[in-house]
Amino acid sequence: MSARRLLIDVGNSRLKWALLDDTGRTPATAISHHGAPAETIASIDAGAVDRIVVANVTGAAHAEALRAALVARFGRVPEFAQPVDGLLGLRIAYAEPTRLGVDRWLGLLAAWAEGGTAACVASAGTALTFDAVDAAGQHLGGIIAPGLLTAQQAVLGATRFAAAGPAHVYGDHLGTDTEACVRQGALHACAGLVERLAARHGGERRYLTGGDAAVLRPFLDGDWTVAGDLVIAGLARLASR
């Protein structure tokens, strides 16, 4: 019987999960966790599983709660992914590889393993990140910047603008009121940063992931693959070893 592996990606605002067996991987299911990811474990309708592999960016305190919730729900002790330098030929640029965010590493691992050529990954979520790998599997490094909503919140929190708050509807234009100006400033900052880095380090394949990937994609030039579950794909590579 094929081993059933539960893959879980715990992000800053959402938890995603999928099942992997010898026939392939199910589509990822996303659940908003509102700062308490362990409380969402009861909502994972995965049935019996043989192994659980987790990517967690929410810190050690949540990791312990997640561990306890997964043991209680599935009777399995989860394995928490950590960056491994050289895995599948991907060499990490950090002097201390384990300090690279596990989500960034797994996304880059999935991108690299898919084609073995130079590639970049932009992740648009609470934070906007960008990482690149060359054709030899060397991670070139990356950046971490505010995401779309985080950028708006930063401006509104540091100023005295009479604005209602962050907005979610974007357009390829300039703003004509304060809310629109803050919103469009965040959009053009994020899109411009991604395009600038991709022009320099984009490689042959460009991936866009994260909760705001579909929002940002229409405002980017060039050929981008929107892969909302790229971290899950990286977990699948890891769990298949």
Distance separating alpha carbons of residues 138 and 75, to the nearest angstrom: 38
The pairing of strands 205-209 and 225-226 is parallel
Distance separating alpha carbons of residues 63 and 148, to the nearest angstrom: 27
Q: Which of 9, 21, 22, 103 is catalytic?
A: 103
Q: Which helix (H) or strand (E) segment is 237 a member of?
A: helix 230-239
State the burial class of residue 128 (Cβ atoms within 10 Å of its Cβ: 0-12, 13-18, 19+). buried
How many helices (DSSP H) and strands (DSSP E) are in the chain? Answer: 6, 11
User: Is-catalytic flag, 103?
Assistant: yes
Distance separating alpha carbons of residues 125 and 146, to the nearest angstrom: 9
Catalytic (active-site) positions? 103
